[in-house]
Structures are given as C-alpha cells and as structure tokens.
A and B are shown apart, each in its own frame.
Chain A
C-alpha cells in the first residue's frame, strides 16, 4: 500500500522543504520507491534543495491541467534511482491545485510509488489544504518556539477536521512531531522550548529532533539533501527519523548540550 505523507507546519520557514527532501531521500536510500511533490506553487524551492532545478521542464500544475503527463514531469534523482521529484510551477497561483486534480495525480503516482511525500507550503490556504487533504501520515514540522507550536496545533486541528480521512470518517491520519532547528543550549536557558515542552503541548508522537546545524545551509546551497551528509548531526538525525518512520525504535540523539572538551571549557568555543 502506498503511503501519502504530508510534511506540514502552519508556520513558514520552519524546515518543511529541508525535511521533505531529507526524508524522501532517506526512504529511497533504504530501497523504497519514493516521489516528493512540491505543493508550494509559485515559490518553487524543493527542486533547489534536491539539486534538480535545471532539469525542470514540466511541473505539477501542467500535469493537473493535462498539459503534460506524469512521466514528462517527474524528475529522476541523480544519486538515487528510487527517487523522483515532482516540481511546483513558478508561474501559476495556488488555486491551480484542485481536489480532483491533485487526487487524480496522487492516484496515478500510487500505482508506481511506495511513498509519496507532499512538501506543504506554509499557512492554511488552498495549497496547504491540498497537501494535507489526501494524507495517510502527517509529519508536523515544528520549531521550539511558541508561535510555531501554536501553528502546529492549528494544523493538527485541520488534519482532524478537513482531511479526506476526517471527511470520510476513515481511520484518522497518523500524526508525528518533527522538532527541527533544535538547540539544546537555548532550550536549557529557557530561551527556547524544550523537547518535553513541545511534546506536552502538542501531545503527538515524537518522530525526531533535528538539531540547528550549519550543515543544512551548506547542503541546500550545494543542492544535496542534508541526509546524504552522514558526517553531520542534522544528517544523522534525519536518518534516525526515517528509521522511526519505518517503525524502528531508535533512541534520540543531539538533544543534550554537547559536552565541551577540556580546552574548549577553558578557552571558550
């Protein structure tokens, strides 16, 4: 059975696209045939992070409008043969995404793919609603700060009331919390919320904690999803996240403040 996974948040800039790219790549590297779809019509980001922006010819909206077929629009990843990207259009507006159109494309993709990752735009408008509507699983991407947590709570309400599964009274969407840009030091001083704080407020299962990391910016500048960088803390944390998504029990890492070495303690860092 194909699983449709939406990466969503409500609030903008929390790391949805970074996470969509990393998780899609991680699933594909584990041998699962995966496609990642950019629902952020008009902005187009995912193709940059995936490093395939130069190969975009047709996009999601072209397929919905019947101007191109899926095979023409899907971009095969350079590194991983199991991975495909369906890019967003830069020229259309969000209303191009209709329930029928999106549903049809997802149905077609489900014939070929095990995982369909939907990279949601920020907000609670049409694009975000379409990204979550057909989902089986939601990865609620949240930063450890009050406004992000509140928007995530809002999105959880939408998942429970405005999704296909809610409307048709099916088993509810499986909801997971992905805490991104986490800084243990700042959580400790109370500058940011801690893992426990966020878990308590949102009360959904924690899928992973991704530390705030230089590696993310480096990765997106070079068009390589950060999960490929297995030297980096963020890359490893995304790998763990994918393991948990696949049902494995992996302990959390990078949630305690790094112990400074003797020299660092004396001279500062």
Chain B
C-alpha cells in the first residue's frame, strides 16, 4: 500500500508562553521592546502562546494585541487561560485557544476494572463482571456461570460455564487452571463440553478468538 498523502498524528511540542499582565497594549508593547532588545535571538520566529489570566477582567482588543506582537516579528499561535469573551475574540482572529498540559483532562482510556471473587463459584451461582475483567481465586463448579465484559481468569478448575467478552470484545480471553467447562464463549462464539473435550485439555488452558473461531491452547505448567 502506498503512503497516504495526509496523515494525522498526535505529537506534543513545548511552546513558550508569554504572560500578558497589563491590559494596556501600549504598556505591554514598551516593556516587550526592552526585553527583545536584551535577547533578540531568543524570541525571533519562535511560536508563542499568550497567557491572558492576569487580564481576564479587563477589556482588551485581541486583534490589536496580535497585530502589535506580529509587528515585533513574534509569531502568536494561540492563547490560553482566557475568559470566554477573550477566547471568542481570539478565535475570530485565527488564534487557537489551548489548554496547558496540567489543565487538560487526561485522555480517557476505555475504562476496564477487575472484579475479584475470592472463593469458589458454586453450582447455581452466577457472577457478572460488568465492564471489567473477572478473576476467580477458586473453582467454578458444574452448574455455575461466570460472565465478564472483559477477560476471565480462573485459578481453580472451570467446570461450569464461562463467557468472556460478553459486551462483544473480541480480544477477551478465558484462562483456567483446569479447563473442564460445560461451555466457554468469547464475544458470543461458544463451544460446549463435547467440542472442548476434543482438545483434551484437562490442565491449564487459554481460550481466545482467532478471527471468528475459538482457539484453545494449553499453557505451560
């Protein structure tokens, strides 16, 4: 396949932030001129973000501010910490409104908990681990059922039914230290005991999906 002509990738950059601490553009301009005179190389051509937190209560014309800074060869790419009115002005003159790393909410990973059952699951009992993986420290008896939206790990024998990926997650697996199940299922694909027996796995085994067929592997002791 040839390389696509457009690609979207997330990369982070470190930007300098210029804090505007006075609402008068003239005052800011004069002070900035002094700074630039001290270290002209440092700012020249560097992209800058304006932090407006100190002047959030004041009225200031962002377009005018932007123009003033551009005249000094500064490249303004966006603003941060602005109130809604200032942010709106900024957008209107083509500036990005950004949040600094600390403020930005952490990217939400799909939430997946682990439910732990510290005893045997007995005949007639049913355990459902919603939106989570399920770990059973004991055995799952004949006539017992364990269901998880994620994967299922059973440290005892699995003699009953185990259904992983109940919410449709194909990547879910089932691991048991003795695979003698009445039924195993992953994302709706299931096998009954008779089918499982062909694999002769009385010992530790892992059930997973490969494409849309189930696969049973024995695990090392």
How far is the CB of B127 from the nearest CB of chain A, in Å?
11
Tell me the complex Cα distance, A61–B139, Å: 39
Given contacts A161-B125, A203-B138, contact A156 B143 (CB under 8 A): no
- A156 contact set on B, CB distance < 8 A: 120, 122
Verify B120–A203 contact, CB threshold 8 A: yes
Q: How many positions in chain B have a CB within 8 Å of any CB in the partner chain?
A: 15
Interface majority SS (helix, strand, loop, mixed), chain B: loop
Report B38-85 residues with CB < 8 Å from chain A CB: none
Verify A150–B123 contact, CB threshold 8 A: yes
What's the A-B contact tally at a CB cutoff of 8 Å? Answer: 35
B156 interface residue (CB < 8 Å to A): yes
- A153 contact set on B, CB distance < 8 A: 122-124, 141-144
- A161 contact set on B, CB distance < 8 A: 125
Verify A157–B156 contact, CB threshold 8 A: no
A246 interface residue (CB < 8 Å to B): no
A222 interface residue (CB < 8 Å to B): no
- B123 contact set on A, CB distance < 8 A: 150-151, 153-154, 157
A263 interface residue (CB < 8 Å to B): no
A221 interface residue (CB < 8 Å to B): no
Tell me the complex Cα distance, A129–B121, Å: 19
Verify B138–A157 contact, CB threshold 8 A: no
How far is the CB of B215 from the nearest CB of chain A, in Å?
28
> 15 A-B residue contacts at CB 8 Å?
A150-B123, A150-B141, A150-B143, A151-B123, A153-B142, A154-B122, A156-B120, A156-B122, A157-B124, A157-B125, A201-B139, A201-B141, A203-B120, A203-B138, A203-B139
B: which residues have CB within 8 A of A?
A: 119-125, 138-139, 141-144, 156, 159
| Given A156-B122, A203-B138; 12 other pairs, CB 8 A cutoff | A153-B122, A153-B141, A153-B144, A154-B123, A154-B124, A156-B120, A157-B122, A157-B124, A158-B124, A160-B119, A201-B141, A203-B139
